[in-house]
Amino acid sequence: MRKNILITGASAGLGEQMARDFAARGRSLALCARRLDRLTALRDELLAAHPGITVAVRQLDVTDHARVFEVFDAFRAELGGLDRVIVNAGGGKGRPVGTDGFATNLESARTNFVAALAQCEAAVRIFRDQRQGHLVVISSMSAMRGLPRGMTTYAATKAGVAALAEGIRADLLGTPIKVTTVYPGYIVSEANPAGRAKPLMVSTEQGVRAMVRAIERERPKAQVPAWPWVPVGFLMRHAPLRAVARFS
């Protein structure tokens, strides 16, 4: 059983709901994000509902790489070990390439890819030392293909983190350290509000329930919710680029 779980980007959306679901399963949590007030409120809520667990919170901007290592190490010391780390912090802002949106795209690339590398480095360093652990990287269904318009950089970062996770998995094959890549479809969150519904979008509760079940199985890869995203993923990978560009 993975008792102590660290989640980055736990102040909103999927990270916040994963914290709720794992707390309900009796797990202790290490939660970080930039908005400490929201983490503190979440900690109070979780401890009131599940008094037997431990919930540690710390402020962290994942693009501050040195702090990522410091905060992960501090959480490990506070909880007496980390059994699972979920690299979840991320954002979907983007502009079409070549339209003066470089600053926005660079911010997405730094948060979703470079900072994810820092988080993987910090987590796997701890797991190698403990000789056990489960690294979970939250990619996206948008990693299946190169995507147009404002999705181009985002999709590339999510393909990048999926490749990063697969490489780490290859490096650790045959060891007690496991690596899972999660590819969520559209799930309501702060970044994806219900008012701006996208096709096939599910509620935060429904989407995260599927994510948590997939994470607990510890398989190498999971597209969630499996229906309809496994067949949609197949279509995305095999459809002509013109069709992908039109329907994405």
Residues tagged active-site: 154
* Beta carbon nearer to ligand NAP, 130 or 221: 221
Find the residue with minimal CB distance to ligand NAP. 13
* Beta carbon nearer to ligand NAP, 28 or 189: 189
CA distances (Å), origin 74, targets 87, 174, 215: 17, 28, 24
Contact 27, 2 (CB under 8 A): yes
Of residues 71 through 100, those in contact with ligand NAP by CB under 6 A are 88-92
Strand partners, 56: 30
Query: What would you report as the CA-atom Rg of the chain, rounded to the nearest whole angstrom?
Result: 17
Of residues 143 through 202, those in contact with ligand NAP by CB under 6 A are 184, 186-187, 189-192
What string marks each residue from 1 to 40 as x (binds ligand NAP by CB under 6 A) or -? Answer: -------xxxxxxxx-----------------xxx-----
Residue 60 sits in the site that holds ligand NAP (CB under 6 A): yes
Sign, CA dihedral 141-2-76-12, equals positive
Nearest approach in angstroms of CB 52 to ligand NAP is: 25
Bond from prior residue into 240 cis (ω within 30 degrees of 0)? no
Helix, strand, coil % in the chain, rounded to nearest 5: 55, 15, 30
Residue 126 sits in the site that holds ligand NAP (CB under 6 A): no
Nearest approach in angstroms of CB 174 to ligand NAP is: 29
Residue 63 sits in the site that holds ligand NAP (CB under 6 A): yes
Contact 90, 114 (CB under 8 A): no
Cα 196 from Cα 127, distance rounded (Å): 39
* Beta carbon nearer to ligand NAP, 110 or 132: 110
Residue ranges binding ligand NAP (CB under 6 A): 8-15, 33-35, 60-63, 88-92, 111, 138, 140, 184, 186-187, 189-192
